[in-house]
Chain A
């Protein structure tokens, strides 16, 4: 069960990308991918970040693991600020922070055998004999449901689900404290998805890791997470205990998101159009509340003033002018 000890904290994370609007000589424009996101991940907890494309959820994950430098703000792992550490200073901490990708194929070196892929990460941190490493690697593979016969195979010889198991084995090889899971099951078929979700949940119970679980599938998020954060156009709009959030979503965007999911039950009411339009461009995000252009309840203040995240119930925060009493 999750404790209250924070293992990862992000403060006011911002990511702006410079792009050219069109052509070689087009005007430079700024993509506001992430704009002031803060949260805490506790020990042995799963915090989900959910949102649609353009929400910035994956960029948050990439900044945390150091794949892209933040424009502003900070990332703290087990009390230590890590976003400005160089490669060398980061090395001893690296084993505590691992990443699982959406597309395991793109993240696995096609020339390496499964044994090397899984054996290498910890090999960077411990000294061991070749035989010891092989035993340890075989044990890891078998823990994720891949037998010893897979040790010498290459990624292309695995199915999608097996590759994701391999990616998971690599991530947990160093016994990390925090694992950032970026859409870990969204490329998988439903039946395989269930196997991988169960594996992630079992491994967490066994090793006590914390997951930052980035996903767009609300059913999956509700199943795996203790708390859920909802992002829209680069900002956090709501964060709460998962059960409370799914029982009574407070932000109009969260409500729209949940109402849009088609339920696998033909006796439930037909789809109702929860929200019109699409996510606006992050190049010129709407002023004020970024959701106001699609919000059915928007008031004048929503167009001008950015609503801050406010506590609306114990452990439940939302950023909406309509919820401020």
Chain B
């Protein structure tokens, strides 16, 4: 099925200056800080970062699914194709979710209803959003289970989530999420809880569905391997902010932010033992991800950054554009490149 028609230059999802705030008063935490990104139909955008960087809060903020009174979101723009999500009523939003924009989570057990059969999990969405009758919905559910390549789909329809393996649950959740052909699918760590052989299968299913349906896929992950093998573009987040964005090839060939470079360096790579010489130490980034309730004025990464100078601890660096849509928020971005070439 082709992507639904909007003007070629309208992204499937556009987010401008998204802010997510948790808690109040002295316990106030800015979980997402003026984050902007867009993703086109048929494109995979990865949002990568470590725990606490704000990547899941970004997803919940976009879907306006933040937990009640304790969390607030703001944005200057939040559009799904031509639809302005900020102007919709809660009821209108609810109708859109699961239909034009859908989400899948790391642990399907928490988002699948434990007392509903697989058939009901999938047809519920279809019957609500598409007003399909029972048998039409059932036929569609079966079709979807085939599409996510679940073994023995007829039998699965009558099973409950607890009867399925983790990989099969994730397939069911994907089937339910794409049942109404959403324009945008947000997948939050969809394979993190899975074994590596099953992860490869699930990523394959997601990418196939994206290609066939022309969906925009926002893939939230901590795994740079998954990013490299699935995405066209990447947003790197640190402490609630976007610190770098680039096309995948450019990011891996030429990371501009010291945090991105640190992440890549500290990850033990398959095949690394095949070089000559003894096993070396992994390059470390000192310290840990900052706690966001005590924001410092400068760059949030400065305390861990080997290149930081006085300005870095004083002033937060703005996002600066380099070539080909590559942006990075670092006062020392040029030094990063020099340091890298000095080492190479």
Contact = CB atoms under 8 A, between A and B. Distances in A.
Given A190-B267, A218-B196, A219-B269, A264 B224 contact: yes
A317 B298 CA distance: 55
A191 B288 contact: yes
A201 B266 CA distance: 15
Contacts of A194: 266-268, 282-285
Given A192-B288, A260-B199, A246 B262 contact: no
A277 B168 CA distance: 10
Interface of A: 52-53, 159, 161, 189-195, 197-198, 201, 216-220, 222-224, 242-243, 246-247, 256-268, 270-271, 273-279
A261 B151 contact: no
B84 to A, nearest CB: 34
A193 B282 CA distance: 10
Interface string B270-281: 111110000101
Contacts of B76: none
Contacts of B270: 218-219, 222, 246, 258, 261, 263
Interface of B: 50-51, 151, 165-168, 195-201, 203-204, 222-230, 248-249, 252, 262-264, 266-274, 279, 281-286, 288-289, 304
Nearest to B203: A271
B229 A242 contact: no
B273 A260 contact: no
B203 A279 contact: no
Contacts of A274: 197, 200
A15 to B, nearest CB: 20
7 contacts: A194-B284, A222-B270, A243-B273, A243-B274, A262-B225, A264-B252, A266-B228
Contact of A191 (B201, B203, B266): B266
B264 A264 contact: yes
Contacts of A259: 200
Nearest to A46: B279
B282 A246 contact: no
A157 B197 CA distance: 37
B282 A197 contact: yes
Contact of B197 (A197, A220, A256, A268): A256
B264 A52 contact: no
A277 B165 CA distance: 11
Given A190-B222, A191-B285, A265-B228, A260 B269 contact: no
A9 to B, nearest CB: 25
Contacts of B198: 52, 278
Contacts of A53: 166, 195
B196 A190 contact: no
A278 B196 CA distance: 10
Contact of A198 (B166, B201, B223, B284): B284
A216 B194 CA distance: 11
Given A197-B268, A262-B200, A263-B229, 11 more contacts: A191-B263, A198-B284, A222-B272, A262-B228, A264-B267, A265-B252, A266-B249, A270-B229, A273-B201, A278-B195, A278-B197
